């Protein structure tokens, strides 16, 4: 009996050893399958990354063409052409960098995917030469782009040419008021204390002789002469607005209490632009580019660029804001208003 139990115990131990050996073998086999599976997954993921890169490039290409007709027509001002050039240079420069860096990123993800025979043998956490290159090269490129931008900005904000046509544009919630200097080519002074919605929307100083022939357009329409520099005197009656001239590639804040200026030369008449855009309803737009209140969306003015002859004809049809027939309508000048400094506009 004891022999039987001993043999049975030996048999059972052998069975256990055999089973453990079998289990190890199964585990080894499973491990090999897992590795194989991992290898396959790595390959699929790496290939998908490369595919994603090409899909991304294709999507950019498609976006470009599908949005082409929503782009602004060519710049309608001389200064705007410089901005367009700047935009092109920036787009091409950053486009090249974008393409190279992303091509390398996705290609390396594919090329250096995990494999059995690849072991990392060298780590480098820091490399002065590399740091120097990738800091200085972008810094130089950015400095050049900023310098070009500053030069263009200084052009449009610098003193305008002596023969520039001076026009004032004032924002108010929610429209633009445009003032022309009349035949004397000088805008009269303004004083915010004289502002009266019914009789004097801009607070024009009626005692200033230069204001006598000033023309005020409250319909937000601005007339410009093609090929002639125009200097905008920009102001606001209430909050900060912004004179946005997308077709001329320019914009300038209209700040209450501060006069800002901007000058440019329109190069394409409204009639010519209608032909260029093949749109008979085309109008140059003055958009308010600064969120200014609940009516901001509707704060839209228009610009008519015309020839000198057309402009002269239009100007002749305009009456001065303060009609000479009604000088008595002006309130008696009180000494307080007279003593306050008027906003000098020249
Ligand atoms: Cu606005």
Spacing, Cα 156 to ligand 1 middle (Å): 22
Is residue 196 one of the residues assigned to a domain?
A: yes
* 317 located within any domain: yes
8 Å CB contact between 196 and 300: no
What per-residue confidence (pLDDT) applies to 1? 65
Does residue 173 lie in a domain region? yes
Q: What is the mean pLDDT of each run of 10 residues along the chain (346 residues)?
A: 79 86 76 78 87 92 87 91 91 92 92 79 84 93 91 90 90 90 80 79 77 81 92 91 93 91 93 90 92 91 92 84 57 43 45
| β 230-236/165-172 pair status | parallel
Note down the domain range covering 58. Answer: 19-71
Last residue of a domain, one of 71, 86, 109: 71
Tell me how far apart the terminal alpha carbons of the chain are, to the nearest angstrom. 126
- CA atoms of 311 and 243, how far apart (whole Å): 22
Please state the separation of Cα 140 from the chain's center in Å. 23
Q: Which residues pair with 292 in a beta bridge?
A: none
Whether 40 is in a domain gets the answer yes
CA of 283 to the centre of ligand 1 (A): 19
Query: What is the pLDDT at residue 20?
Result: 83
| Claim to verify: residue 172 and residue 317 sit in the same structural domain | yes
Residue with tokens 């200064």: 79
| Cα-to-centroid distance, 195 and ligand 1 (Å) | 20
Measured in Å, residue 231 CA sits from the centre of ligand 1 at 21
Asked whether residue 139 is assigned to any structural domain, the reply reads no
Q: Do 200 and 309 fall within a single domain?
A: yes
Q: How far is the CA of 13 from the centre of ligand 1 (A)?
A: 90
Distance 289 CA to ligand 1 centre (A): 6
Specify the pTM: 0.71
Ligand 1 centre from 244 Cα, in Å? 10
Q: What is the domain count for the chain?
A: 2
Shared domain for 200 and 315, answered yes or no, is yes
Q: Classify 45 as helix, strand or coil.
A: helix
Judge if 66 and 175 occupy the same domain: no
pLDDT, residue 340, reads 42
In a domain, 336, yes or no: no
Distance 173 CA to ligand 1 centre (A): 8
Whether 182 maps to a domain, the answer reads: yes
Residues 57 and 177 in one domain: no
Q: Are residues 281 and 173 part of one domain?
A: yes
Residue 81 Cα to ligand 1 midpoint, Å, equals: 26
| Residue where one domain finishes, among candidates 71, 88, 105 | 71
Q: Domain for residue 1, yes or no?
A: no
Q: Of 322, 319, 315, 318, nearest to 207 (Cα)?
A: 322
- Answer yes or no: are the C-beta atoms of 173 and 244 closer than 8 Å: no
Name residues with Cβ closer than 5 Å to ligand 1, which is an ion: 288, 292, 296, 299
Q: What's the CATH code of the domain at 190? A: 2.60.40.420
């Amino acid at each position: 009996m004891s022999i039987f139990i001993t043999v049975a115990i030996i048999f059972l131990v052998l069975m256990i050893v055999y089973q453990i050996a079998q289990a190890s073998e199964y585990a080894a086999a499973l491990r090999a399958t897992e590795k194989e599976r991992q290898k396959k997954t790595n390959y699929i993921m790496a290939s998908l990354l490369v595919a994603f890169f090409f899909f991304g490039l294709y999507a950019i290409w498609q976006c470009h063409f599908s949005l082409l007709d929503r782009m602004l027509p060519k710049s309608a001002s001389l200064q705007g052409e410089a901005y367009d050039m700047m935009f092109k240079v920036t787009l091409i420069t950053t486009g090249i960098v974008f393409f190279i860096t992303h091509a390398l990123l996705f290609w390396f993800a594919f090329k250096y995917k995990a494999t059995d025979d690849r072991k990392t043998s060298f780590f480098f956490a820091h490399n002065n030469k590399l740091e120097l290159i990738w800091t200085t090269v972008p810094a130089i490129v950015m400095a050049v782009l900023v310098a070009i931008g500053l030069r263009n900005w200084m052009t449009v904000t610098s003193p305008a040419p002596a023969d520039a046509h001076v026009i004032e544009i004032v924002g108010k919630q929610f429209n633009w008021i445009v003032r022309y200097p009349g035949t004397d080519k000088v805008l009269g002074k303004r004083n915010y204390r004289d502002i009266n919605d019914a009789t004097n929307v801009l607070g024009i100083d009626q005692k200033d002789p230069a204001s006598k022939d000033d023309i005020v357009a409250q319909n937000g329409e601005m007339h410009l002469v093609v090929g002639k520099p125009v200097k905008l005197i920009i102001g606001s009656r209430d909050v900060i607005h912004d004179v946005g001239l997308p077709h001329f590639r320019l914009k300038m804040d209209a700040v209450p209490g501060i006069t800002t200026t901007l000058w440019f030369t329109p190069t394409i008449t409204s009639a010519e632009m209608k032909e260029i855009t093949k749109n008979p309803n085309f109008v140059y737009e003055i958009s308010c580019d600064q969120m200014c209140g609940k009516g901001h969306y509707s704060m839209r003015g228009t610009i008519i660029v015309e020839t000198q002859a057309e402009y002269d004809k239009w100007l002749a049809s305009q009456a001065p804001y303060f009609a000479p027939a009604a000088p008595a309508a002006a309130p008696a000048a009180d000494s307080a208003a007279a003593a306050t400094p008027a906003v000098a506009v020249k």
